[in-house]
Amino acid sequence: MAALRSTIDTTPAQGPCCAPAAYPMVDDATAQQLAKVFKALGDPNRIKLFSLITASASGEMCVCDLTEPVGLSQPTVSHHMKLLVEAGLVTREQRGKWAYYQPTTGTLVDAARAFTA
């Protein structure tokens, strides 16, 4: 066994083993924001809700119109929508007792750009 150990090179490698990354790593603040966006889109119900809003002919949807298509209660839809708002994917406007949601422009584009720019 001693002979085998002596043939193994345990000296640290000189320099990187691979070519350097083509793009710089995202900073901590950007990583936190990207994680919020991807976490918000990590639930099938939120993807459905986001899809409904972005496909709306009027460019917005009332929370009252979002419950039936996804088959969820209004409090559950409101919870999902809160996460989409916090991630910056939609904006919320209160009108009387109803909340209206509009998709934001650029959040998904910015998220993709963070990995390709």
Q: Does a structural domain hold residue 18? A: no
Q: Which pLDDT value is given to residue 83?
A: 97
For residue 32, give both structure tokens.
């936190």
2 within domain boundaries: no
Q: Could you tell me the residue range of the domain that residue 34 belongs to?
A: 28-112
> Which has more pLDDT, 11 or 63?
63
Tell me: the pLDDT tens digits for 77-104? 999 999 999 999 999 999 999 999 999 9
Q: Would residue 117 count as lying in a domain? A: no
**Alpha helices by DSSP H, the chain:** 2-7, 28-40, 44-55, 67-70, 74-86, 107-116
**Residue 50 contacts by C-beta under 8 Å, 6 or more apart in sequence?**
41, 84, 89, 90, 103
Q: Report pLDDT for 77.
A: 97
Q: Which residue has the higher pLDDT, 11 or 93?
A: 93
The answer to whether residue 14 sits within a structural domain is: no
Residue 64 lies in a domain: yes
CA pair distance 26, 33, nearest whole angstrom = 11
| 75 or 20: which leads in pLDDT | 75
pLDDT the model gives residue 6: 42
Indicate whether 99 belongs to any domain: yes
Domain count, the chain: 1
Q: Kindly state the tokens that stand for 109.
A: 């584009």
pLDDT in tens, 40-75: 999 999 999 999 999 999 999 999 999 999 999 999
pLDDT at 63: 94
Residue 7 forms part of a structural domain:
no
CATH code (residue 42): 1.10.10.10
Domain annotation covers residue 74: yes
More confident: 44 or 112: 44
